[in-house]
Amino acid sequence: MICTMILHPFARCATLLPVLVAWAGAPVVAADANWSVYLGDAGGTHYSTLTQITPANVARLQPAWTFRTGGADANNRSQIQCNPLVIDGVLYGTSPVLVLFAVEAATGRELWRFDPFAAGNVEGGRGLNRGFSWWQEDGERRLMFSAGRFLHALDPATGKLIETFGDKGRVDLLDGLDRDVKGLSLAANTPGAIFRDLIIMPMRLGEGPGPAAPGHLRAYDVRTGARRWIFHTIPHPGEPGYETWPADAWQRVGAANCWAGLVVDQERGLAFVPTGSPAFDFWGGDRHGDGLYGNCLIALDAATGKRKWHFQFVHHDLWDRDLPAPPVLCEVLREGKKIAAVAQVTKSGHVWVFNRETGESLFPWQEEPVPKSILAGEKTSPTQPRPLKPAPFARQQFTEAEVTDISPTSREAVLKRLRAASPHVPWDPPSERGTVILPGFDGGAEWGGVAVDPRGVLYVNANEMAWILTMVPAKIGAKAGSGPALYQQLCMSCHGVNREGNAAQNIPPLGPVAQKMKAEEILALFATGKGVMPSFGFLPEEQKRALAEFILAAGVEAPAGETAAGKVEPTGNLAAARSPYATTGYNRLLDPEGYPALRPPWGTLNAIDLNTGEYLWTKTLGEFPALTAKGIPPTGTENYGGPVVTAGGVIFIAATKDEKIRAFDAKTGEKLWEAPLPAAGFATPATYSVNGKQFVVIACGGGKIGMKSGDAYVAFALPE
């Protein structure tokens, strides 16, 4: 049944408003020389009012300067995902090891550096960084920067900490979650959103079968670092939504966090917050119910944190269907009137568009029946929501007709593997046989987000990649809290059943660790985490040592023993023991040559008119030169990082595996220009102007999906 109205705050239906055509032109505004907010502006539009670079001259772009930050990992496991800020001729960015720097935006000449780990403090690990927040009032300016689990306030003129903020310039985000989370993993990869004198902070948490912190959203005073409000994404007793969880969930269930970032309607005082799945991602037998506010877009009063409305995109998530990108604020036409809207893209490849003030959907949608789980203890939601317009920007079902056709050998190999898994249907629950996830765990849409122009046209790059998820019963033959049991619960999803690692994810095999590290070094790593590896500080000392010994033991195979058969076996104090299942990891479905198992395209760039819900164009994004040399048309590649669109009518995007940046005509989708990069630009570009000259800059950090790591920021401009 198609839903047509909101019945009460927790109803799944939203009012359908008629769809009309877009207005012809965009408002004329003064050009902004700065890129002063993460992703362009407070609405996350990725839009620039600059017009110097146009479809007519963009092919003349050439490198203007390159800045090498240093810090790239020799084993190609470091990244730069930073969308830099550019304010009054100064560019602020981060290195692969999260050293913050300032350079002249016209020349790339270094001005200062700040290393948040200079004192050797790496509590919670370095993690990643996607950008910064900028606050200024009455001549006072602050650059807000998160590294690991700490939020810092710096003087942008000097790069020095402002010691009146928090504890000598920083705030520990692990504090103030209204629950004991000591030793648990937390990192703030994405910058907070500024509203008046508040910074509203997203955060990344553990989502595996181990214990995880709750994903509550908090706002801090930008001057003092004091917590000003908190919104419980896992509601406490007496709070709306509490009834959608088990009674004690607020005390033990984790995640349901905003990690992708949020946007703020400054005029209306509304913060739009996208959230991810509750933990554990793939088995929810200990968290029955829809689980508000996991997998929701939540509209909050930005000054107080009070909920105005919400929409849940996935009920009782078992597929890691986090909302992967910040929403975007835009205006669309309905019945001849402009409506303030907020659009949200999803990993499943859909675009949802809502009235900002009411939460009403501006396109029709429906709740659809979905398959039931056969895993012990699991209770799937009977339905899941699906928008009826716009059409999805990524394929939804992996049938034999969608199997790769780049060669007969590739096709036969993929067909064999596909037939061994459960036949793919949307929302097929995790299983022991193996479940195809399409779009994959990285989307569809991913963290780079989308661009939108004043006409209401949305530009989104998409991954067309199938993954496969295989659940395995927990092994309980080993002693509770033993190395094999702990490895399966905490490490196997990344490092593999036999500790073989995952090359596509840049996760190393653990066998060589025995030759490179001593037990005490591994124990120190457990305490801090490193990169995307979380801290295991919550483990008792004896369990840390047991896990370290298992990792160091040469020749030990996967954990063995009796299966749980639905029974929960206690494992010391480890909350992961509530799950009778583990997963063999995040595995892409590939052909024997390492190419995606789907037929091309594997990456696309799309333009969607949000006034009508219709596609204006779709173009292939990226290529594999080796396949092109064989006469295969460009296939597109996996892509990470978003597009930028300008008033000059040009879209800039890097993101692709082929280590290039490209420009497209915003009206037609025609590719106008491309240039090689020193490493893949897995980040969102920024564009700005200094002394009347427009630049486009991209961080070239590589380090994902098997690509080499880099340390460069490259800026392009038209020749004099």
Calculate mean pLDDT across residues 201-224: 95
The average pLDDT across 581-587 equals: 90
Q: Which of 20-24, 317-321, 360-364, 658-662 is predicted least confidently? A: 20-24
Amino acid at 542: E
Percentage of the chain exceeding pLDDT 70: 87
The pLDDT, as a whole number, for residue 622 is 98
> Averaged over 202-216, what is the pLDDT?
93
| Among the ranges given (310-314, 435-439, 499-503, 569-573), the one the predictor scored with the smallest mean pLDDT | 569-573
Residue 219's pLDDT is: 98
Closest CA to 369 of 381, 361, 354, 377: 381
Q: What's the whole-number mean pLDDT along residues 182-188?
A: 92
What integer pLDDT is reported at residue 307 of this predicted model? 98
Residue-level pLDDT at 30: 64
Banded pLDDT at 563 (limits 50, 70, 90): very low
- For range 14-23, the mean pLDDT: 29
Cα–Cα distance measured from residue 155 to residue 233, given in angstroms and rounded to the nearest whole number: 33
What mean pLDDT is predicted for residues 154-161?
98
Query: Could you say which DSSP state residue 508 is in?
Result: P
**% of the chain with per-residue pLDDT over 90:** 77
Give me the domains of the chain, ranges plus CATH numbers.
471-584 (1.10.760.10)
Mean pLDDT in residue range 636-664? 98
> Cα Rg for the chain, rounded, in angstroms?
24
Please check the confidence at residue 687 and state whether its pLDDT lies above 70: yes
Confidence at 20, pLDDT banded by 50, 70, 90 = very low
Region of poorest pLDDT, from 172-176, 229-233, 568-572: 568-572
Q: What is the pLDDT of residue 557?
A: 46
pLDDT (0 to 100) of residue 571:
35
Task: Inform me whether the pLDDT recorded for 253 exceeds 60.
Answer: yes
Nearest to 459 by CA among 34, 70, 39, 16: 39
Candidate from 409-413, 516-520, 528-532 with smallest mean pLDDT:
528-532
Averaged pLDDT, 205-214: 91
Q: Is pLDDT above 60 for 9?
A: no
Q: Is the pLDDT of residue 560 over 80?
A: no
Alpha-carbon gap, residue 171 to 358, rounded angstroms: 34
Mean pLDDT, rounded, of the chain: 89
At residue 712, the pLDDT reads 98
Q: Which range is least confidently modeled, 31-35, 46-50, 520-524, 605-609?
A: 520-524
Question: What is the amino acid identity at position 132?
Answer: F
The pLDDT-based confidence of 25 (bands split at 50, 70, 90) is: very low
Q: Check residue 36 and give its pLDDT.
A: 97
| pLDDT value for 552 | 74
For residue 225, give the amino acid letter. G
Q: Calculate mean pLDDT across residues 396-406.
A: 96
Region 400-423 average pLDDT? 94
**Mean pLDDT, range 329-348, rounded to an integer:** 97
Q: How confident is the model at residue 12 (pLDDT cuts 50, 70, 90)?
A: very low
Which of 17-26, 446-455, 520-529, 693-702 is predicted with the least confidence, judged by mean pLDDT?
Answer: 17-26
Over residues 329-353, the mean pLDDT reads 97
Report which of residues 93 and 498 the model is more confident about: 93
- How are the residues of the chain apportioned to helix, strand and coil, as percentages rounded to the nearest 5? 10, 30, 60
Arithmetic mean of pLDDT, 269-294:
97
Which residue is listed with tokens 């602050």?
Answer: 142
**pLDDT at 2 > cutoff 70:** no
Which two structure tokens, joined as six digits, stand for 470? 């295989």
**Could you report the per-residue pLDDT of 72-124, keeping only the tens digit for each?**
999 999 999 999 999 999 999 999 999 999 999 999 999 999 999 987 766 65
List, as one string, the DSSP characters of 611-647: TTTEEEEEEE----HHHHHTTPPP----B-S--EEET
Which band of pLDDT confidence, cut at 50, 70 and 90, is reported for residue 541?
A: confident
Judge whether 634 and 661 are in contact, CB under 8 Å. no
pLDDT of residue 578: 62
Q: Is the pLDDT of residue 8 over 60?
A: no
Burial of 417 (0-12, 13-18, 19+ CB in 10 A): middle
Predicted local confidence at residue 275, as pLDDT:
98
